[in-house]
């Protein structure tokens, strides 16, 4: 699990969140949700938002960020 310090805290369910904890996806998760990006013929990276957002609830564990609307404070 990797910890990422936020430059600005966010408010989630009356809690101030200053660090996100995210794990690397497993093979099973990649198989389930797909690769969240691809490359164009020119070499530009394209993000597959649907795939990327599908990972977040699992990769953040019990962090409630993705089950609510969070606002910057």
Segment 7-52, tens digit of pLDDT: 999 887 788 888 888 899 999 999 999 999 999 999 999 999 988 8
Q: What is the pLDDT at residue 42?
A: 95
Q: Nearest-CA neighbor of 20 among 41, 42, 2?
A: 2
**Do 70 and 12 contact (CB within 8 A), yes or no?**
yes
CA–CA separation, 9 and 18 (whole Å): 5
- Reported as a pLDDT band with limits 50, 70 and 90, residue 69 is very low
* pTM of this prediction exceeds 0.85: no
Q: Nearest-CA neighbor of 6 among 49, 54, 68, 70?
A: 70
Domain boundaries along the sequence of the chain = 25-67
């Amino acid at each position: 699990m990797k910890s990422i310090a936020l430059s600005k805290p966010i408010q989630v369910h009356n809690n101030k969140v200053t660090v996100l904890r995210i794990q690397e996806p497993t093979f099973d998760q990649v198989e389930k949700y797909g690769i969240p990006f691809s490359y164009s013929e020119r070499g530009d990276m394209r993000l597959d938002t649907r795939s990327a957002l599908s990972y977040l609830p699992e990769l953040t564990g019990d962090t409630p960020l993705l089950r609510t609307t969070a606002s910057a404070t």
